[in-house]
Amino acid sequence: MSRTKVALVTGSSRGIGKAVALALAAKGFAVAVNSRSATVEAKAVVSAIIAQGGQAMLCPGDVGDYATVGQMREQIRQELGEVTALVNNAGFAQQKLFGDITPDEWQRMLQVHLTGAYNTCHVFLPDMLRRHAGAIVNVSSMWGQTGGSCEVHYSAAKAGLIGLTKALAKEVGPSGIRVNCVAPGVVLTDMMDSFDEETKRTLAQETPLMRLGTAEEIANVVAFLLSEQSSFITGQVIAPNGGMVI
């Protein structure tokens, strides 16, 4: 089996996930780029990594489906090798009053964010446990720390990721595996497209650093947590939020 550093980044066709995939490729990781389907955007991320001399593959699949994640594992093993770094980034946002959230919307939010992370951890951890090495980063949100009005289902799912991170870190730490969490603040990605410019300016003004974050800034934190530079860090929630949550 190849000794190459191999990373799976879920939801990496755009936004933070795309930035993470590119950052890890620049650090020498072979990267499995994931999106629910083989989108043009996901293919473009793979092409960009290869064009820079890196190694990447397209690995489409719904992480909310356990059997699909198992198939993803086999595809990655065959093409890149065993996953040594896992980034659970797949997700989406939705602004709705709690009373308007349907049962299906609630379930889908948890299925993608929280069950998706369970699925990938459950499928890929055995290889890490056997090697006594590996690192996992779960991408939460500041709303997972504080709760967000009109985003109850999103906040609950992201808070669940924080709990998963802390508990799993305690369980697998003795086996040499680190599990950490990143809880970004407001970041300029396509998830912000539904906000008008005035709202974005207001959010920036509410941030002590007086601006919104970039996907690349979040990716830098993720890359650090997957590197040997963070070898004594596990079970932590790192919050690149410009000071909005202190």
DSSP-assigned letters across all residues of 131-196: HT-EEEEEE--HHHHH--TT-HHHHHHHHHHHHHHHHHHHHHGGGTEEEEEE---SB-SGGGTTS-
Q: CA-CA distance, 220 to 173, in Å (whole number)?
A: 23
User: What pLDDT shows up at residue 231?
Assistant: 99
Class of domain 6-238: alpha beta
User: What pLDDT shows up at residue 37?
Assistant: 84
- Which candidate in 29, 124, 143, 154 is catalytic? 154
Q: For the chain, which ranges sit under pLDDT 70? A: 1-3
User: What pLDDT shows up at residue 58?
Assistant: 98
Q: Is 154 a catalytic residue?
A: yes
Q: CA-CA distance, 191 to 128, in Å (whole number)?
A: 32
Tokens of 31: 């990267």
Q: CA-CA distance, 123 to 72, in Å (whole number)?
A: 9
75 with 45: CB under 8 angstroms?
no
Tokens of 208: 């002590």
User: What pLDDT shows up at residue 1?
Assistant: 41
User: What pLDDT shows up at residue 50?
Assistant: 98
